[in-house]
Structures are given as C-alpha cells and as structure tokens.
Structure 1
Amino acid sequence: MSDPTLGPALVELPATHRGAVCLGDPRYQSDSAAVFRTLRQAHGPLAPVLLHGGVPAWLVLGYRELLWVTDHPDTFARDSARWRLGHQLPPDWPLWPLLGGGQAGHSLMYAEKEAHRRRAGALNAALDGIDRKEFAARCEEFGEQLVRRFSAVGRAELMADYAMRLPVMAMSWALGVPAEYGPVLVEDFVTMIAGGPDAIAAHQRSREMVARLVDDSRGRPGRHVTARLAADAAGLSREQLVEDLLVTLTAGHQTTAYLIGNALRLMLTDARHTDAFLRSHLPVQEAINAVLWDDTPTQTYAGRFTARPVSLGSYTLPEGDLVLLGFAAANRDPFIRPDVSADLDGSRAYLSYSHGEHSCPHAARDLSQVMATTGIDVLLDALPGVRLACRPEELRWDPSIWMRGLKALPVCFFPAP
C-alpha cells in the first residue's frame, strides 16, 4: 500500500485498519471536527486510524472511554518500548518526537508507575514555586513589549507577532532560559509539532539548548524552575532534567500560543463574543473556557500502548497497539453534550489537559491560563477597535495531527502611540 498523503508504507496493515482514515490528510486539516463525527458514526467511541507511513493506531473518541483509558495506566501504558510496531519504524520517522522515540522516550511523559510519580511530583513542585502574581506581572510586561512593536502601525499578525512569542518569553523567564534562546526555540517547537521532515533535527536542537541551560544551572542555587528542579530531593539525573524541562517548554509554549490565538479568533468571529469583545466587557476566562471545550489546542494526544489485550468500544485491541487520546472529539461527545451549542455554565470538565496521573500537572495548567488571560487582557487594553483583517473563512490552520492552531491571525485597529 502507498498513499501520497501517508507517504511510503512502513508496516503491513492489519485487517481492522484497511481503508482507515488518515490523520493529517487535507480533510482532517480543514475540518477535524467533521472527521471525528464521521468516525464516531462509523465506529463508535473508538476508531481505527492511520498515521504517516500508513502506521495503524486507535483513536479514542468517547468521553467516558477516554476517562477509562487514562484511569488505567497499567493497561494503557506510557512506555513507547511496549509498541510492537516501533522496531519496524525508521529512526527518522517524523512523528517519533511526539511518540517517545529516541531520547524523547526518557522524559517523564513516558515513565511509568513510581518513576513517573517521582518525576512528575518534582516538576509540579518546581512549577508551583513560581509566584503567580509575579508571573502575571512578567507576562503583562512581556505583552506590552510585544504590543509596542506594532501598536502604532494599525495592523498586526497576532500569531507570529504576539501569540507565538509571549509564551516562550514568559516560560523562558520562569525556567531561567537566556532570552537569546527564545526566537530559535519558537521556530524549533513549531517545526517539531508539525511532524514534518525537519522535526527530528528541530527536536535535537531544542534538546541541546536545554542541556546547556541544565549544565549552567546545576549546583547553582536560584529561584527559577531549572534550579529548583535540579536541587529537588528526587535527585534527577542530567538526562532526566534535560528531557523533563524540554517537555515543559514545548508543551507550555505551543499549547498556550494556540490557546491565545484560538480565543482571539473566537472573540473576533463568533457573534456570541464579538460585541462584548469590542466593548472590552467580555471576561477573557469565558472565551478561554469555550475554546478549551470546542477548539482545544491539543486535539489529539499521543499516546498509550496496550500492556495486554483489551476490549474497548467495538474492538478488541491486541497487546502492544498504539492508542491516541482524542481530546477534541471527547469534548464534543453527544453522550455528555447532546447539544454542543448549549451554554456550558462555566463547566471545566473538558479533557483538554487530559485526565489521570499522566495528565498535565496542575501548576502547569495554572501558568498556561495566567499567560493566556494576561496576554489577551494586554491586547484588549492596547489595540482600540481591533477587528479581523480578512474574512473568517480565509483563516487557515497549522498542519498538525496533534495540535489545532492558526497559521496566521491578521487584524487591524486604530493606531496608538
């Protein structure tokens, strides 16, 4: 089998995956929500899908099923060494950085049981040591610096000029990353998440930068996250520090950048939000909450690996299969939301940060929302009369299986000194 969307076939397909939908094809990129609906109608809460190279995987679409998978890490494990097809894939397979291939597999994301609990606890404690008021003040300062670059012009492209830059500036300050690393890290994070031919090289460059940061910080007391993590009683090795900090930077930057962009798009295009946005009366948290339900930055997450044969949905999965978590699909599961247009009344039961012991650390969720709300507030204050500078249907999404974020968000506004 060979498909131009999938690239050359890398493995032999099982019968369950012949004719399966390819995650990443043009239909998926333009309207992933429609693809998820079609898969649910055809397969129920679990669907066979294909990745680059015709690699088979299972996508969890159901809310209850996703809770069950993430609540049972002994059955749906994290160590990518369990994947029975992993040894058949080349080292330069572009999706490896997000599936635990190579050195990426040494991060806390792919650790299991006590090893994961120890490392996740150390990271959460280090992040929790960031003073929220000081962090918000820094985010405001960085946001104002960025806005000053374009506020007098009357036009801006808010993804490249703002949303992509603010999180890396804030996270770099929190982790003690030198400011000059920022621009390169932004480019490499975007390249890595896209999963294209340069993803492996971008991942390696990012790791080398973080390794220099770790070497500079070890043995030196400091208030930033890297110094606190290096001094933690968990006693992480140099390699573990590098991998865990790289995960923190990558996840914190990309998801927050897209959260800012997706919330701004909602405010500028959705009739339920636009008027209030232009009057600067809309609570920013309300828009962010809506995005985390209906336009979540992390729409599909990799992954889990079956530690034993298990029945899920309409299928029985063999040991060693790859299972993907469909956060965006689960958030719109008709079982919990028969009417997706109904008011959510501030509910935060979305699965955008995953669930269970391998979910996003609570301190990281807090910091992401501080960055997003503060960053949007700065724009509300600084750009009078801001409006979209193109038709809503002309907006395009970055080509990623995992993430949902805009390529560009052009706006115009009244120039301000």
Structure 2
Amino acid sequence: MNDQTPSDPAPPRGCPFGHGGGDLTRLYGPEAATDPAGIYERLRTEHGPVAPVLLEGDIPAWLVLGYRDNRRVLDTPWQFSRDARIWRDWREGRIAETSPLVPMLGWRPDCVSQDGEPHRRLRGAVTDGLQAAAARGIRRHVTHFANKQIDAFAGTGRADLVADYAEYLPMLVLTRILGLAEGEGRLLVESCAQVLKGGEEAVAHNERIMEKLGELAERKRSEPGSDFTTALLEHPAALDAEEVISHLRLVLIAAHTTTSNLLARVLQLVLTDVERLSGLIGGRLNISAVVEEVMWNTPPLAVMPGRFATADLELGGHRIAEGDLLVLGLAAGNLDPEIRPDAGVSVQGNQSHLAFSSGPHECPGQNIGQAIIETGVDVLLHRLPGLRLAVPAEELTATASTWESRLDSLPVEFAG
C-alpha cells in the first residue's frame, strides 16, 4: 500500500491490511453467534460505515455497514468485483482449500462469480430457467408440500415451525423446480445449512451437494423434463457441464437457505403480534407487508459474501487496497441510522431494502421466494385453528454464523 500523505484518511485502528495494531473483531465464534447486531453497532461506532474484521481462520476483510456504502459496492462491479481470483489472500496462498470460506467466497464457473459479459451470458440462462419454472405454477407446488408437512403434525396440537415446517418447505418446492426426487431434497437440507454455518464440515457438505447435483444433471441429459435443470442443459447459452452443476448449486443453496430463514422470521413476527395474526387470518392485512418488514429488520442473509477491490480506492473514510475482500453487511445497512434514524417507523411500501442485494447481481429468484413464503404462511394459518406461540416471545432464541442469523425454534400450539 502506498505511503500515506497528510491528506490521506488515517487507517482504522486494527486495520488488517498491512497496518497491524489492535485486536480485530471476529465475525465468528461465541459472541458473533449470540449478538451479531451488537457487534455491527459497536463496529459502526468505532470505525464508521466500513470496519476491519476477521472471518473464519482469522482471514481479514472489510465489513460494509453503511447503507449508501453497501449500495456503492453492489452497484459498481468495475470497482468491486465478484471475481474471487483477484482476492489477494487467495492469490498469495493464505486460504487453504479446506477453509470453510471457500464454499462461500471461492471462484466457480457461475454467474455470481463473474462480471461483465460472462456474467450476462450465465445469468441470462438462470433467469430464463427460473421464469419458466415460475410460469408452471410455484404456488401450486407450495400448497402441495405445505399441506404434506402440516399433515405430519396437524393431529398433535403442537409443532416446532422451524424444524417441522420452515426448514423443509422451500427445499421441497425446489425439488420440483430442479427436477430432484423429494427424498433427495430432504437429505440436502442439512448440507445447505452446514455450508452457510461454516466450520470444518462445510467443505464436505459442499462436495456432497455437488455430487448429488452432478448425478441430477446426468440423469436429465438422458431423461429431460419440464424443470430448471433441463432448461440449463438446453439453453442457447450452451453451458458446459461444470457451469450447469455450479448453477444448480447456486440456486439450491441460495434459494433454500434464505427462503427458509425468511419464512421462519415472518412466522415469528406474525405469532408474536396478535394484531398482525388476526389481521392475516381475517384478510385485513396482506402478508407481503409483513415480509417487507422482515426484509428490512432481519434480512435472511445478514452478511453477503463478497466483493474484491479492483484497485486502490476509498470507501467510508478508509483506504481499500486492490485485492482486499469486502463483505456486505445487509442487516447493518438496513438499520443504518443515516437512512433510518428511527428504526421503529413503518417501512410499509418501501422496497429499497438490501435483502435482495442490488446491481447486476441482484437476486433473480425473488418472486419465487416471495411465492413460497406468502403461500406457506397462508396455508399454515388456515390449516391450524387457534395457532399461537407455546412459549413467551422473549424465550425465542437465534444462533448466528458469519453470514446469517437463524431462529433456533418456533414452538406453537393449536387445536389438534
């Protein structure tokens, strides 16, 4: 990094990129698992809208906390690339192939890992395939699998809506979209969760996903169907075998983990507010308004991986060097006091949250996720009369990883 001049911003205390000094905050470990929001606000106070942090393996990164700074990074791929091949720590051999960061940050031949024309070519195939899937009736699949999940516990009068419902419903719908067998989808729920959770098992679970999806692609080459996998195989963009499997993985992990997390959070908000619950059951409140509120206050992906600086530049008062890793604080950005001085004020009708990302890499399947959540909540509320929390709301807990904060359980009672 170039020597500082008097006009340069001072490096942040504990800056990981060549400055040294001070203890850096870890976005993993016991504190991060229980109080990620507290960490974000402390970092905002100490460093401003961009803060130096450590990821698993004590790998340095910049956490972007400011709303406008997140927008800048997401909207300018020529300054902040998604191509991990320019990541300096990777190029210089400091990231082991077995690192739990690799499944989340490593380069692969999918549209998320590339910019410009390669990105447009691959994303076009994904978008076309998802649009075709949506046109075939997502809500019909959601209704079928929602009822099937509810049938398993409807007669008992009790359930955990995380373990018994939200963790499985999106994956079951995805089995229909991708062309997987239902049983295969159920087996992949744990592997998707482990990739996001990180830790020493993340790489093994990622390999398990790739193996299953490779088998799916081979099956669909000889037995094509009206599914997303066949759409990728037959798309005019002519994806090769590795590109097809990488995009199946991308859709599977991204769609399942974020949608299951968001579904659980929407149910939490509904069940901890009697007025919202009665409004939804009585038809006075639209579920999309509740989803929107959750998108702002507890987005399903709290921190998004990752962007890489293409040149030395300034962001949020800090000097960012070429090859530095940045991770996007979507939860922190949505609560940035510069744009939301009063986080308690209603955000109804305001869709400018960061939950779906922004710019060229904005989530292409958001309408499918919305359909899963809206239909899943609607079926549940109308199948289970007298639905209510089985524990005080303050007893509900969540556990966070670097990338997300997931509700641990949502115990409920109802008229069995």
Q: Same fold (TM over 0.5)?
A: yes
Per-residue deviation, 1:299: 0.7
1:227 and 2:230 correspond: yes
Name the structure 2 match of 1:157: 160
Distance in 2 between residues matched to 1:281 and 1:411, nearest whole Å: 23
Quick check: 148-157 or 110-119, which moved more?
A: 110-119
- 1:391 equivalenced with 2:392 (yes/no): yes
3-state SS of 2:360 partner: coil
> C-alpha displacement at 1:383, in angstroms?
1.1
Partner of 1:41: 45
Q: 2:104 aligns with which of 98, 106, 130?
A: 98
**1:236 match: secondary structure:** coil
Rounded to whole Å, the distance in 2 between the matches of 1:153 and 1:355 is: 43
Letter paired with 2:362: S
**Cα drift, residue 406 of structure 1:** 1.0
SS at match of 1:370: helix
Q: TM-score, normalised by structure 1?
A: 0.92
Paired residue type of 2:22: R
User: What does residue 352 of structure 2 align with?
Assistant: 349
Using the alignment, how far apart are the partners of 1:17 and 1:126 within structure 2?
A: 49
Q: Which moved more, 1:215-224 or 1:345-354?
A: 215-224
User: Aligned residue for 2:326?
Assistant: 323
Q: How far apart, in 1, do the equivalents of 2:309 and 2:200 lie?
A: 28
**Alignment partner of 1:200 out of 200, 203, 211:** 203
Percentage of pairs with the same residue:
36
Distance 1:131 1:108, change over 3 A: closer
Aligned match of 2:122 in 101, 119, 130? 119
Q: In the TM superposition, what is the alpha-carbon distance from 1:183 to its structure 2 partner?
A: 1.6
Q: In the aligned structure 1, how far is the partner of 2:376 from the partner of 2:52?
A: 39
Match for residue 72 of structure 1?
Answer: 76
Q: Is the 8 A contact 1:17 1:50 kept in 2?
A: no
Whole-Å separation in 1 of the counterparts to 2:79 and 2:338:
24
Q: CA shift at 1:217, angstroms? A: 1.2
Alpha-carbon distance between aligned partners in 1 of 2:21 and 2:405, rounded to the nearest angstrom: 25
Report the Cα offset of residue 257 of structure 1: 0.4
- Distance, in Å, in 2 between the alignment partners of 1:110 and 1:350 is 23
Q: Which letter maps to 1:365?
A: Q
Change (3 A) 1:304 1:385: same
Q: 2: CA distance between counterparts of 1:132 and 1:412?
A: 36
Say if 2:195 and 2:202, in contact at 8 Å, map to a contact too. yes
Distance 1:279 1:125 in 2: 37
Report the alpha carbon displacement of residue 394 of structure 1 after superposing the two structures with TM.
2.4
Measure the CA separation in 1 of the matches of 2:21 and 2:189.
36
| Contact in 1 for aligned 2:292/2:348 (Cα 8 Å) | no
Task: Measure the CA separation in 2 of the matches of 1:142 and 1:305.
Answer: 40
1:159–1:409 CA contact under 8 A, matched in 2: yes
1:368 corresponds to:
369
SS of the equivalent of 1:58 reads strand
* Unaligned residue ranges in structure 2 (runs of 5+): 1-15
**SS at structure 1 position matched to 2:344:** coil
Aligned to 1:8: none
Task: Give me the CA root mean square deviation.
Answer: 1.7
Verify: 1:307 aligned to 2:313, yes or no: no
Q: What is the CA distance between 1:27 and its match in structure 2?
A: 2.9
Partners in 1 of 2:392 and 2:374 — Cα distance? 25
- SS at 1:241's partner residue? helix
Query: What is the Cα deviation at residue 131 of structure 1?
Result: 3.9
TM-score by length of 2: 0.92
The answer (yes or no) to whether the contact 2:220–2:230 under 8 Å persists in 1 is yes
What is the match of residue 174 of structure 1? 177
The letter of the residue matching 1:78 is R
Q: Match for residue 13 of structure 2?
A: none
Q: How many Å separate the matches in 2 of 1:226 and 1:107?
A: 14
Native 8 Å contact 2:54 2:60 kept in 1: yes
- Deviation for aligned residue 1:133: 6.7
Q: Which residue of 1 aligns with 2:361?
A: 358
